[in-house]
């Protein structure tokens, strides 16, 4: 009886935390929920004290669910309670020049990484905000205030020398630094460092760049078990380094001890693409391997199970501490311990023990850290165990029933052909039409195989004939893919690995061998005199396994693509798991469903052939209803997102008809990879814009508009054209004539297209070379896919769909050379986006002369409701041009681009806001991405990072058709 009660409480508790988290803007006090939860809990207790008045079992379950639900609310809001006057969040510095002194104790093992060391500090006292230089020797303990709640996240840079390696767990230290809040997400749907750290109770960050900023005071409060475990980890790490070369030792340290700092980024990328990245995160797989190893060893020594089970549990606790006590390893250690206890001392079955252990582990982890409920580490860990527990057997039974005869031949052939097509024709397989044709052909081939089997023309092969261990392993792999890897990888990371099913068939058994040999080698290495030699022999063999694993991950990463896909919505994910649940429990629910349908048909007095027709209609309706809910309607609003792409421009336009377009593609920078010494590209197209589009569930772009040749507008376009071009992109609009070029774009051709003397004079300048590379690569990618470059002129407009249009604003006709303020102001174009009465003026890289030309033209009324300041506000601003637009809402797309540019930008913004005191400025450098929504009259503006919201009216806008043809807007040649 206790198991269903515990599972009911667990489900209700998790739902309570989830519901509370979904109410984003509602923060309540935990006290009332805790009191409310006590009433059903007391009722349950009284019913058990007086068994004569015990209610029906379902009523007890309802009381348990009520207790769990209210407890979930109480615990979640309790974790958010930071309203104590001395909480660490109250001591944050208000500007970046102030410094705060902190005394505290290092409460976790420092995480040593390639360029910095992360230290977790439990602060004890704080001396708030001092300006100027602070000498730690002058600080008196009596001047400081106590801290109550919150942890401090410290980053010690490599410029401090050996200091980043000297800080240890348990050290009591004093430091002086600027205390800042963790940075939030700056683009919609992307990673939020603030949420990530807040969920782990970190509310402030400090950076140590000089050794004089930090001083060790002694040893603080130390947990002896943690200290012993970390010392054991240090000894293991030394043995690994002594017995295995660097690259392989870094991998072994990552999978065995949780030290991922030495694993190169390339290895991590290959593991992610091949679908085996889970081996780098110490989780349930590793804990189960360790528990199984000790179980086999101790059983072979003929020690009674009731005696050695506590020994295994002690080992699991130490292993959990060694690997950082992450949610996944904590859950796994607790669950394995409970399974061993229940199976050993209470004689329960494995599945019963597993469900009991999982329920207790979920409540324990979420009671300690309720805010991590939707963190990938927690969700993926529990989803994997639930998948193994509930999906493995039904999936294996399904394979035994269906994968036989010609059907098995068909599935095998389709798998081989699919791998070959993705390997050799990957670009073609990205096209949606080709994918649809492939899967349609696979379906027809499978139906033909079914028909052949029914005719008796079959072959004597079957999945059921495979060895039991192969069937079980295949069932487990299928369960992981269906229940965890593919749906949750798509939801969290917008990527699924097609090679994961193949790679994991080798990876999981191999990682079991690697971890066990490494652990035995580590234990042997601690034996005096000859132990290190035994460890060397063992790890010599392990070196072969590690190298094979690394080669295997790279091979499968290159074998099949790991496509980026849009995020499923929470509703889609919910309906998917409902369908998976029905599949898992079909044998239990199918009689009930059949009985209800039979009763429905009987009540309708339907008989004969109509029964099958009505049943088929019900099934089709159930299948199509979620499709209608999820994809039935397109929105009737225009959504524009000004992305935070640092020093660059990129706008996403989501039209009311559901189509999407892009204005500019952000920038690109070249960096040196410290691990390889090679030059690598950092593209905003792949790092920022592509993930944002997928989070918005945008899979195709109607068009791309390039407003300027500058690299901060075109740097990310090559990647975006490659990824979204095959989905039916209509055109790429540019303000230059590129229609006569062939499949390549040579430097002199590009210079001729721009038609600017400034570029022609300085074609070899570093920035101009980067500009050419960005445009040429984008052009060649578009030519491969047959996407035309279309020149747009002032008498044309761009149709973004759904009644949204873009009218070009040419402040400087082509052929006009002169002052080039924002690199290429004379070959860029402004764009006014219109929808109903609403308008937004994107001024691109218009320079000072261009702005003055526009300001000299007479217009009747406002030009736009909102103005994007030209050239990221880093070029000179003509205030007459700003008045000409008639708006007092300004947007600045800006990020760090050097001290000189930053000072010029700050000076321009300062003068602008002092002249327009009634204006409102939104900047991507401060506010993150800016979202604009319009229904045709007015705008609703919201910022991502700072949560600023404002409504902007739309009185209408002036007609610019005559202005653009005004004589003052023409060049001397045209006049």
Do β-strands 116-130 and 668-672 pair in parallel, antiparallel, or remain unpaired?
unpaired
Q: Tens digit of pLDDT for each residue in 279-297?
A: 777 777 788 888 888 888 8
| Contact (Cβ atoms closer than 8 angstroms) between residue 68 and residue 10 | yes
- Record the pTM: 0.81
Burial code (b: 16+ CB inside 10 Å, e: under 16) for 157-183 equals eeebeebbeebbbbbbbbbbbbbbebe
Token pair in block for residue 697: 């569930």
- What is the percent of the chain where pLDDT is above 90? 12
**638-969 shares the fold of 88-222:** no
Angle between helices 717-724 and 766-785 (to 10 degrees): 10
Mean pLDDT of 469-495: 86
- The 8-class DSSP code of residue 482 comes to I
| Contact (Cβ atoms closer than 8 angstroms) between residue 769 and residue 747 | no
| Contact (Cβ atoms closer than 8 angstroms) between residue 474 and residue 502 | no
Mean pLDDT of 682-711: 89
Alpha-carbon gap, residue 890 to 916, rounded angstroms: 11
Alpha-carbon gap, residue 255 to 91, rounded angstroms: 38
Q: Give the C-alpha distances (Å, rounded to integers) separating 782 from 693, 726, 775.
A: 19, 10, 11
- The 8-class DSSP code of residue 688 comes to I
Residues facing residue 125 across a β-bridge: 103, 146
105 pLDDT tier (thresholds 50, 70, 90) = very high
Alpha-carbon gap, residue 484 to 397, rounded angstroms: 19
Question: Distance between alpha carbon 701 and the CA centroid of its chain, in Å?
Answer: 22
Residues facing residue 670 across a β-bridge: 681
Q: Is the pLDDT of residue 634 over 50?
A: no
H or E stretch covering 47: helix 30-49
Q: Tens digit of pLDDT for each residue in 345-402?
A: 877 776 777 777 778 888 888 888 888 888 887 888 888 888 888 888 888 888 888 8
H or E stretch covering 197: helix 193-198
Q: Three-state SS string across 90-110, please? A: HHCCCCCCCEEEEEEEECCCC
More confident position, 823 or 673: 673
- The 8-class DSSP code of residue 856 comes to T
Token pair in block for residue 222: 């130390």
619 pLDDT tier (thresholds 50, 70, 90) = low
Mean pLDDT of the chain: 80
| Contact (Cβ atoms closer than 8 angstroms) between residue 258 and residue 201 | no
CATH (residue range 638-969):
3.60.15.10
φ, ψ of residue 791 to 5 degrees: the values are -75, 135
More confident position, 884 or 681: 884
Top mean pLDDT of 300-304, 718-722, 724-728, 793-797 is at: 718-722
Token pair in block for residue 895: 């990020």
CATH (residue range 88-222):
2.40.50.140
Q: Tens digit of pLDDT for each residue in 152-189?
A: 999 998 888 888 888 998 899 989 898 999 999 999 98
H or E stretch covering 383: helix 376-390
DSSP line for 704-730: EE----SHHHHTTHHHHHHHHGGGT--
| Contact (Cβ atoms closer than 8 angstroms) between residue 305 and residue 299 | yes
Whole-number CA gyration radius for the chain: 32
Q: Give the C-alpha distances (Å, rounded to integers) separating 43 from 6, 32, 68, 222, 524.
A: 16, 18, 14, 42, 56
Q: Please enumerate in sequence order all residues whose Cβ is within 8 A of that of 619, keeping only pairs 6 or more positions apart, or say none.
A: none
Alpha-carbon gap, residue 455 to 344, rounded angstroms: 52
Q: How many residues does the chain have?
A: 975
DSSP line for 917-944: TT-EEEEHHHH-SEEEEESSSSEEEEET
Of 596, 701, 646, 647, nearest in space to 845 by CA: 647
Of 692, 668, 671, 689, nearest in space to 680 by CA: 671
Q: Is the pLDDT of residue 782 over 60?
A: yes
More confident position, 618 or 972: 618
More confident position, 125 or 769: 125
Range name among 233-247, 337-351, 668-682, 872-886 with the lowest pLDDT average = 668-682
Token pair in block for residue 205: 């960050």
Range name among 142-146, 285-289, 773-777, 874-878 with the lowest pLDDT average = 874-878
- Domain borders along the chain are 2-80, 88-222, 229-389+499-559, 404-461, 585-631, 638-969
Question: Distance between alpha carbon 466 and the CA centroid of its chain, in Å?
Answer: 39
């Amino acid at each position: 009886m206790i198991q269903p009660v515990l599972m009911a409480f667990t489900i209700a508790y998790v739902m309570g935390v989830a519901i509370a988290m979904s109410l984003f803007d509602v923060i309540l006090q935990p006290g009332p929920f805790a009191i409310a939860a006590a009433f059903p809990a007391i009722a349950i207790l009284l019913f058990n004290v007086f068994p004569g008045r015990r209610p029906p079992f379902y009523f007890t379950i309802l009381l348990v669910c009520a207790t769990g639900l209210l407890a979930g609310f109480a615990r979640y809001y309790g974790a958010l309670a930071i309203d104590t006057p001395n909480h660490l969040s109250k001591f944050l510095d208000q500007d970046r020049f102030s410094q705060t002194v902190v005394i505290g104790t290092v409460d976790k093992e420092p995480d040593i990484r390639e360029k910095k060391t992360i230290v977790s500090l439990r602060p004890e006292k704080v001396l708030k905000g001092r300006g100027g230089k602070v000498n730690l020797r002058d600080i008196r303990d009596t001047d400081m205030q106590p801290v109550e709640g919150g942890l401090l996240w410290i980053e010690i840079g490599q410029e401090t020398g050996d200091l980043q390696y000297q800080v240890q767990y348990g050290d009591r230290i004093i430091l002086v630094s600027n205390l800042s809040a963790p940075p939030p997400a700056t683009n919609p749907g992307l990673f939020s460092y603030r949420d990530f750290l807040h969920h782990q109770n970190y509310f402030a960050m400090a950076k140590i760049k000089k050794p004089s900023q930090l001083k060790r005071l002694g040893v603080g409060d130390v947990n002896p078990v943690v200290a012993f475990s970390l010392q054991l980890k240090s000894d293991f790490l030394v043995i690994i380094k002594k017995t295995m070369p660097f690259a392989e030792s870094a991998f072994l340290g990552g999978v065995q001890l949780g030290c991922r700092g030495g694993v190169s980024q390339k290895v991590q990328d290959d593991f992610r693409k091949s679908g085996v990245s889970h081996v780098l995160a110490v989780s349930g797989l590793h804990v189960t391997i360790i528990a199984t190893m000790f179980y086999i060893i101790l059983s072979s020594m003929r020690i009674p199970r009731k005696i050695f089970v506590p020994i295994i549990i002690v080992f699991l606790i130490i292993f959990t501490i060694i690997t950082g006590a992450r949610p996944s390893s904590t859950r796994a250690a607790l669950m394995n311990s409970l399974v061993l206890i229940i199976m050993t001392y209470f004689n329960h079955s494995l599945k019963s023990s597993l469900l009991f252990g999982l329920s207790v582990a979920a409540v324990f982890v979420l009671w300690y850290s309720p805010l991590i409920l939707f963190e990938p580490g927690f969700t993926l860990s529990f989803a994997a165990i639930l998948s193994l527990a509930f999906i493995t057997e039904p999936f294996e039974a399904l394979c035994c029933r269906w994968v036989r005869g010609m059907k098995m031949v068909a599935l095998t052939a389709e798998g081989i052909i699919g791998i070959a097509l993705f390997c050799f024709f990957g670009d073609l397989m990205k096209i949606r039409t080709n994918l649809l044709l492939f899967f349609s052909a696979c379906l027809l081939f499978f139906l033909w195989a079914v028909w052949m089997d029914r005719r008796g023309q079959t072959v004597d092969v079957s999945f059921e004939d495979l060895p039991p261990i192969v069937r079980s392993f295949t069932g487990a792999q299928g369960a992981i893919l269906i229940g965890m890897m593919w749906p949750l990888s798509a939801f969290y990371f917008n990527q699924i690995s097609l090679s994961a099913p193949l790679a994991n068939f080798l990876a999981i058994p191999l990682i079991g061998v690697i971890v066990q040999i490494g652990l035995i080698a580590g234990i042997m290495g601690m034996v005096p005199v000859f132990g290190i030699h035994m460890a060397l022999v063992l790890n010599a063999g392990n070196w072969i396994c590690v190298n094979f694993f690394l080669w295997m991950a790279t091979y499968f990463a290159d074998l099949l693509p790991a496509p980026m896909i849009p995020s499923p919505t929470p509703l889609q994910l919910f309906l998917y798991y409902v369908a998976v649940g029905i599949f898992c429990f079909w044998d239990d629910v199918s009689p009930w469903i059949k009985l209800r349908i039979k009763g429905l048909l009987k009540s309708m007095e339907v008989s004969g052939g109509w029964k099958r027709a009505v049943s088929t209609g019900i099934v089709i309706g159930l299948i199509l209803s979620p499709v209608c809910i999820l994809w039935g309607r397109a929105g009737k609003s225009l959504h524009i997102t000004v992305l935070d792409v640092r020093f660059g421009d990129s706008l996403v336009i989501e039209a009311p008809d559901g189509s999407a377009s892009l204005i500019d593609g952000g920038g690109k920078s070249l960096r040196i990879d410290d691990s390889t010494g090679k030059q690598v590209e950092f593209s905003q197209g792949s790092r920022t814009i592509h993930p944002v589009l997928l989070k918005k569930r945008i899979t195709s772009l109607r068009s791309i508009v390039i407003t300027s040749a500058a690299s901060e507008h075109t740097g990310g376009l090559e990647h975006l054209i490659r990824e979204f071009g095959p989905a039916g992109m209509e055109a790429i609009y540019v303000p230059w004539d590129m229609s006569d070029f062939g499949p390549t774009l040579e430097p002199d051709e590009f210079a001729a297209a721009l038609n600017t003397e400034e570029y022609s004079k300085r074609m070899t300048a570093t920035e101009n070379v980067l500009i050419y590379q960005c445009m040429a690569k984008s052009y060649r990618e578009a030519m491969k896919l047959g996407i035309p470059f279309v020149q747009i002129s002032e008498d044309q407009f761009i149709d973004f769909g759904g009644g949204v249009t873009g009218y070009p604003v040419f402040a400087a006709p082509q052929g006009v050379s002169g002052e080039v303020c924002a690199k290429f102001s004379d070959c860029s174009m402004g764009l006014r986006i219109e929808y109903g009465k609403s308008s937004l003026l994107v001024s691109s890289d218009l320079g000072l002369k261009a702005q003055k030309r526009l300001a000299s033209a007479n217009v009747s009324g406002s030009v736009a409701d909102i103005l994007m300041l030209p050239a990221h506000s880093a070029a000179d601003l003509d205030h007459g041009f700003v008045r000409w637009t008639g708006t007092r809402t300004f947007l600045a797309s800006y990020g760090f681009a050097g001290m000189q540019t930053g000072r010029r930008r700050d000076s321009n913004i300062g003068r602008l806001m002092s002249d327009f005191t009634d204006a409102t400025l939104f900047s991507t450098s401060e506010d993150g991405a800016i979202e604009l929504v319009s229904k045709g009259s007015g705008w609703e503006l919201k910022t991502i990072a700072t949560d600023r919201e404002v409504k902007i009216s739309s009185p209408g806008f002036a007609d610019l058709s005559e202005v653009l043809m005004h004589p003052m807007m023409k060049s001397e040649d045209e006049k």
